[in-house]
Amino acid sequence: MRFFALLGFQHVLLFLFPTLVFILLFLLALGHVHLSTKDSEERKVRVLHSYPEGLEARDAPFPLALLLIIIGFLIWAFAYAVGTGILGVRI
């Protein structure tokens, strides 16, 4: 039995919301794959290097989902560190 009833609820929220945000970002990634620039379609098609056995290297645009996940991770890490400091909890 916990001494503080809200502690379990806080843990559920801390696990639930990042998971829901990640699922929404993944669904967004399925709908829109990359950041659109004027040469993004040409970059997906142009072959930079050809390797044996039919392997080809392209300079494709950076995926939007990875960019959003990296930014979300950085925001979450900063908010977690600041929130932990404000609440006075030892990490």
Q: What is the pLDDT of residues 52-71, one digit of tens each?
A: 888 888 776 777 777 877 89
The kind and range of the H/E element at 58 are strand 56-58
Does residue 8 form part of some domain? Answer: no
Does residue 77 form part of some domain? Answer: yes
Return the pLDDT at 3.
Answer: 67
Helix (H, G, I), strand (E, B) or coil at 34: strand
Does residue 43 form part of some domain? Answer: yes
CA of residue 19 relative to chain centroid, distance: 11
Does residue 12 form part of some domain? Answer: no
Answer yes or no: is pLDDT of 46 > 70. yes
Domain count for the chain: 1
Does residue 14 form part of some domain? Answer: no
Does residue 49 form part of some domain? Answer: yes
Mean pLDDT on 31-48: 72
73-85 burial, b for 16+ CB within 10 Å, e for fewer?
eeeeeeeeeeeee
Range of the domain at 75: 19-87
- Please check whether residue 28 is in contact with residue 63, taking contact to mean a CB–CB distance below 8 angstroms: no
Return the pLDDT at 1.
Answer: 54
Return the pLDDT at 26.
Answer: 78
Answer yes or no: is pLDDT of 75 > 90. yes
Mean pLDDT on 68-82: 87
Distance CA 14, CA 33 (A): 28
